[in-house]
Amino acid sequence: MAHAVPHSAGAGLAIASAYGHANGKAAPGTGDPEEAEEGRGKLGPHLKLLLRMVEDQPRAKIKDFYLTLKDRGYIGSYDLVKKKIHAFRRELGRNAGSTFLSTDAPHAQVEMAKLVLKGSDGQGQAIEVKAHLFTMVLGNSGRFYAELIEGSDMGSFLQCHQNAFEFFGGVPVGVFYDPQESPTMRRLVGGFPFHLPVVDCGHHYGYAAQPTPAFAPWMKGRLKRPGKVLKKLFFPGYEFTSLEKANADMLEWMAWLGRQNQIRERKEKTQREKLGMLPAIGFNFRGRRQFLKLRA
């Protein structure tokens, strides 16, 4: 399973090694593209490499980037590197926003939230069930899919993706995940790069798994919107009996909500979403369940 670069003293060495410049020496064949770029100031010659590192390791610590640049001969201050990284991250956040709202290349976001569902077992006995709420929202139209699952194993998580694609009638070009959103999401998707089952699922269905940028607070608001809508409009007053019935009722409610919101602009956005075709064969979720058991 792929793992994110650890936030430790060894992380700087890991980043340096990835770009072929551990111990201040470039690996053969790297070409040193950043050295060919002219720029003013102490950081100028290193800007191209720094941008590439921020794109490839969006959650790595600034200190690790700074140490990597020092190995490459950077003699400027830490604060200068910090300011430039913040500027790069803000720009990446803005670019991701445009990508998420694209009509020609529709993207989606995924969230997992914990819920405690209270109700009765049909015989007058009160019950309380802990569950996870999976949601996927399309950026351009705002359409969303939601599903309750009892556990948070990898197989169930990936199965929810297929269910969402079937609900939408197609597959988006990319799906954003925020590993920092919750411990559950971090365990399921990893850091960056993502865990292999998540990447493999994306390859199977034809979408790119992408990290939610660190400097994109507006995306976090959109990410939480489906869960907030359900918690405000669906779950209050709902009498829970089973996950199966709750999911069926939620699907019916989402279809009703969609009919209520079929204003002209939303309908046009839905029609413009160019979702990809679903593959004829689904992903091997059973193998991923076993994979998680072996890892646990």
Tens-level pLDDT at each residue, the chain (296 residues): 444 434 444 555 556 555 655 444 443 333 443 333 445 688 989 999 998 888 877 777 899 999 999 999 999 999 999 999 988 888 887 777 777 777 778 899 999 988 888 887 767 778 888 999 999 998 888 889 999 998 888 999 999 999 999 998 899 999 988 887 788 888 999 877 789 999 999 999 999 998 887 666 656 666 568 888 898 889 988 888 889 999 999 999 988 877 766 554 555 555 557 888 888 888 877 655 444 433 33
Token pair of 151, please?
């556990």
Alpha-carbon torsion (96, 102, 105, 107), positive or negative: positive
What pLDDT shows up at residue 262? Answer: 59
What pLDDT shows up at residue 52? Answer: 86
What pLDDT shows up at residue 110? Answer: 92
- Ranges for all domains in the chain classified under CATH 3.30.420.10: 107-295
* Secondary structure (3-state) at 177: strand
Question: What distance in Å separates the CA atoms of residue 133 and residue 278, rounded to the nearest whole number?
Answer: 23
What pLDDT shows up at residue 19? Answer: 61
Q: Which CATH class is domain 107-295?
A: alpha beta
The answer to whether the beta carbons of residues 133 and 227 sit under 8 Å apart is yes
Alpha-carbon torsion (201, 51, 186, 296), positive or negative: positive
Specify the length of the chain in residues: 296
Give Cα 63 to chain centroid, integer Å. Answer: 24
* HSE-up (13 A, CA, CB side) for residue 85: 23
What pLDDT shows up at residue 231? Answer: 87
Question: What distance in Å separates the CA atoms of residue 23 and residue 17, rounded to the nearest whole number?
Answer: 9
What pLDDT shows up at residue 67? Answer: 93
